[in-house]
């Protein structure tokens, strides 16, 4: 069973921010696959369904970004999923241009506090991830202000298309493996 987790912060004030692009990708995938993501369990809002012919849990942690690992650990433990081969994390990435996608099978947190906390809670960094480019922080801006800011109208359009590509990439990761998805989407 795959556990697909989009990172973000709960609450209306964080909706549509750069940091919540993980939530947006989960919502996009859920809509495309007709999976209802409404159940509150494991410190997350989850939905259960089939993606690319496999049973999946779609999750949006409700722990706030910096404690995302608590929810991920609870999900992995409860569903007895193998983090290295059945966990997919979707996060924002300021080192990628707006709308760019980078898929990895393992690696460092790259300064992302949500990924840092997941690595700390799992005890390793071997899990698949889809990093969504939200653009580099403008010079002189505070990082928190930037990632908690909203996309411009033009960027929103790009990110809508990127969310669709990310959903396609996740289906490919499940169906044909992460290497095939990396070749296609990176």
Rounded CA-CA distance 184/1 in Å is 24
19 is catalytic: yes
128: phi > 0 → left, psi -120 to 50 → alpha, else beta; which? beta
**186 residues of the chain, pLDDT tens digit each:** 999 999 999 999 999 999 999 999 999 999 999 999 999 999 999 999 999 999 999 999 999 999 999 999 999 999 999 999 999 999 999 999 999 999 999 999 999 999 999 999 999 999 999 999 999 999 999 999 999 999 999 999 999 999 999 999 999 999 999 999 999 999
> CB–CB of 3/86 below 8 Å?
yes
What is the separation, in whole angstroms, between the first and last Cα of the chain?
Answer: 25
Question: Which residue in 147, 91, 93, 83 sits closest to 121, CA to CA?
Answer: 83
């Amino acid at each position: 069973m795959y556990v697909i987790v989009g990172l973000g912060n709960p609450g209306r004030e964080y909706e549509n921010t750069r940091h919540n692009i993980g939530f947006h990708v989960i919502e996009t995938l859920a809509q495309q696959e007709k999976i209802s993501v409404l159940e509150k369990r494991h410190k997350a809002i989850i939905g259960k369904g089939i993606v690319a012919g496999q049973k999946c849990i779609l999750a949006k942690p409700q722990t706030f970004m910096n404690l995302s690992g608590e929810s991920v650990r609870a999900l992995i433990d409860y569903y007895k999923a193998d983090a290295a081969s059945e966990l997919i994390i979707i996060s924002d990435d300021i080192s990628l241009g707006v709308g760019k996608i980078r898929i990895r099978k393992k690696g460092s947190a790259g300064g992302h506090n949500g990924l840092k906390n997941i690595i700390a809670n799992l005890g390793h960094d071997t899990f698949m991830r889809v990093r969504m480019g939200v653009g580099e922080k403008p010079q002189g801006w505070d990082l928190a202000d930037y990632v908690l800011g909203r996309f411009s109208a033009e960027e929103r359009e790009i990110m809508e298309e990127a969310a669709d590509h990310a959903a396609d990439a996740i289906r490919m990761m499940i169906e044909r493996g992460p290497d095939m998805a990396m070749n296609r989407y990176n």
